[in-house]
């Protein structure tokens, strides 16, 4: 899309779809981000609607607190990817800790069975 050009219905739907599949945005967040990029700002009363974009670093509140403004797509998408990646790493680490805890619960079962089989064969 060239600078200042507006996406047509088909083009906009394609961008919304790709923001979902490639960047992982919900349809609503993708539509809102495009609207922000196109309009350059939204009233701060829309901050609740834009909370996911704000949390992901794809939009910010203006210094005067009256507007939600988009972050440049290069930085906004990079911010979103970084927050997504951090969440995935955190989930992986938490899952690993849960698995390690499970392993510690299973070790006594294994050791008891091993002792039983070696004790029975040796006695």
CA distance 106 to 85: 31
Residue of 32, 36, 2, 38 whose CA lies nearest to 16:
32
- Does 2 have pLDDT greater than 50? no
Quick: pLDDT tens for 20-54: 998 889 999 999 999 999 999 999 888 888 999 99
Domains of the chain: 9-122 (1.10.10.10)
Residue 7 pLDDT:
54
Quick: pLDDT tens for 67-120: 999 999 999 999 999 998 999 999 999 999 999 999 999 999 999 999 888 875
Q: Please state, as a whole number, how many other Cβ atoms lie within 10 Å of the Cβ of residue 6.
A: 9
């Amino acid at each position: 899309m060239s600078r200042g050009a507006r996406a047509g219905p088909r083009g906009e739907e394609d961008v919304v779809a790709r923001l979902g599949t490639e960047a992982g945005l919900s349809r609503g967040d993708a539509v809102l981000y495009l609207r922000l990029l196109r309009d350059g700002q939204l009233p701060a009363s829309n901050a609740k609607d834009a909370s996911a974009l704000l949390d992901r670093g794809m939009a910010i509140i203006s210094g005067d607190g009256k507007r939600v403004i988009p972050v440049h797509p290069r930085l906004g998408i990079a911010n979103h990817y970084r927050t997504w990646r951090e969440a995935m790493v955190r989930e992986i680490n938490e899952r690993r800790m849960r698995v390690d805890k499970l392993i510690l619960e299973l070790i006594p079962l294994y050791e008891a069975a091993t002792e039983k089989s070696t004790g029975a064969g040796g006695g």
